[in-house]
């Protein structure tokens, strides 16, 4: 795992590193920050093989793309409901790693200590044909996922 922006968040992790951390650390949490439409139509990470569930909180709202003003408060409440602490590692996932990076920075600023951005996200960056899923990301790594 790396951190290219020292101090802003804990660093970047690949999808495979994230899954391994979720497998090995019961305090680790996965937060999918994509929109409800993406969860419904593209799919979601499936943590059931680990006996766990991801948290789902939109970073930007659908369909406007406006920033979710309740993101930090909503996620803080969900983390507390799980009995987790602000020190446990949280891995943020979006489509390609852009929104999740912003979410990791925001939650670090809110006092959470180990916030990671999942580089490549769920679908990864577009290839030369502008298709996602063939270069990097959760699906590319062959990690469990399901259609809603």
Q: Does domain 13-142 have CATH number 3.40.250.10?
A: yes
CB 140 within 8 A of CB 12: no
The pLDDT assigned to 1 comes to 55
Q: Which residues does 103 contact at the CB level (< 8 Å), separation at least 6?
A: 31, 33, 59, 71, 92, 94, 115, 117
Which pLDDT value is given to residue 18?
Answer: 98
**Residue 125's pLDDT is what?**
76
**Res 84: pLDDT:** 83
What's the pLDDT at 118? 97
Q: What's the confidence (pLDDT) of residue 131?
A: 64
User: Distance between CA 144 and CA 121 in Å, rounded?
Assistant: 14
- pLDDT-flagged residues of the chain (< 50): 6
């Amino acid at each position: 795992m790396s951190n290219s922006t020292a101090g802003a968040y804990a660093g970047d992790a690949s999808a495979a590193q994230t899954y391994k951390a979720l497998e090995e650390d019961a305090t680790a949490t996965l937060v999918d920050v994509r929109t409800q439409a993406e969860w419904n139509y593209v799919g979601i990470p499936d943590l059931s093989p680990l006996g766990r569930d991801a948290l789902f909180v939109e970073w930007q709202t659908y369909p406007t793309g406006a920033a979710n003003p309740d993101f930090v408060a909503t996620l803080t409440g969900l983390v507390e409901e799980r009995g987790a602490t602000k020190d446990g590692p949280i891995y943020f996932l979006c489509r390609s790693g852009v929104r999740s990076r912003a979410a990791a920075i925001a939650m670090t600023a809110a006092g959470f200590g180990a916030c990671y951005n999942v580089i490549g996200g769920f679908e990864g960056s577009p290839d030369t044909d502008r298709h996602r899923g063939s270069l990097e990301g959760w699906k590319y790594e062959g990690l469990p996922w399901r259609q809603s």
